[in-house]
Structure 1
């Protein structure tokens, strides 16, 4: 606890006394004017943010617990005041930044899942959930109601809430294999039952490719790109989502410059169990060939780099794969690219060297 001399030299001294000695005061103001409550909350939020950067508030566990409990209870009761709600959520976020203890208190708080789902469309709520999930034991995240709520919203809604839920899944999917495993088991990738399609396939509906991609579809592909960046996703996604390659290839048929779709296929190709299937997919080989044939500018360099990575992935240590690519015209299109363009010189030289080696060019 800070002494009086430290407090007296602090520009927030009046607030610090309130916070340290009676942190619940603000939550007994239910009958006061909402503007007045919001102004006081804004001051406390600003103070708590400053304390993160300068010197964390020295408060005991019991006071911190009362604070978090009171905020959550208040958020359950409040029925008006958008700014007030956002201030309370920011305050929870600032508290959660200060200690792991605060994070766990929020995770285990009464109605936390319902509260955060109710206000999921607020950017402040997204920030709070990211704070809660960052550096937190995966078992705490998985066993709480919050994670299941996020997955359910991402699975069922194409609204702003669903988009926010997808953003959260993308961020936390990269944190642990346990969390990715929960995503794999959800109906987002497997469907609610044996007769229903995965939510992923609804988002990738071929009819949707005739129109501009929605934010939801873009984020769905980003989530798929994230999980297939890991070995567990490279195994699980193709095996459980049998039609996923067809959807991605359809996208590439319509738009050869679809970097996200080709990057997902690249990730899938890194696992040996998927390479044979890709080699036997005539449309996939034709798309690769056409990309190399039509690439000629620096604007194509990122797309080309991904395609070269695919070629290296499916061909190294496989004479059969080399022959298949040559028969499909892929090798010839690469040789033609090297002869007519300098774009490949802007790519990773070791990657190009390895591709030349595996193809025997």
Structure 2
């Protein structure tokens, strides 16, 4: 797991259930004398996700419509931390000795959560861990309505903007508007090419989870067709994102495009096509036990320009924070305003993101070295 992942340490489900009461009925003693849950039970998985979000990320109200994918929080958090490393690596090129004070945190760092789903998990984690702002897109109206309820219940509607993609064949077009600039995109694409393929994978996963024992009569491989399948599977989806990102309208609208991949073999055709388009490419591996995922990231910005653009975003945030504090003097703050996309302009440097930085560990030298290698 990533060094900053809050789930690196062993988690005692019994201890967690003492504080998150909804989990208690799903916890049992396993064959080794430890506490566990039935991972083949969709209800148990949803309650575990709900408990983890409440315990570690202060997401107190989280729901999921029946039949939708339930995200594994630790793995999703690893992807978010990987994106943070990528941004910080770009910043380190231009920040010099001020690197620690210039972490890519705060509401002026905007991300696009492609296919956010009903859980809206990446946006929630990104806001809580780094204070980022998000556009969260999806083609599914039911998923977006549920996400809207979650955001409203947790007072996060001002930090995460939901947008419906009306054309399933498009990814960026129809969602990202002219003049909007992003620091990154984050995406967990549909994995399968057909529902038959998805059902076969579900059967294999069910057998592996049960290990010959009858654990539950409800398999945990839920998900709507739009979450599970698309033309060409994950390779097809990401290649479409690659082609869209290379268009003149979008190539400089985002510093780092990225996507999660479930198969290592998916990396080769995507990496090759990005090379043909002249993109700068980065590859990362996310390991959690025997479960391995990969992240592919690419940019059409020159190395130094990426850092300068991020630096400008942070400087705008600092200046706006200073002006906002002056304007609010002697008044009581109510609901936070929706942060706007960064507009290039000079601002005086002021401290930013102190509340976010205080909630998580600072970067150690080893971690700096880790993402420094990504900057070239």
Q: Please classify the TM superposition score into its range, dividing by the shorter chain length.
A: under 0.3
Q: So what's the TM-score if we normalise by structure 2?
A: 0.22
Structure having greater relative contact order (Cα 8 Å, sep ≥ 6): 2
Q: Specify which structure has the higher proportion of strand.
A: 2
Query: Bigger radius of gyration, 1 or 2?
Result: 1
TM-score where L is the length of structure 1: 0.23
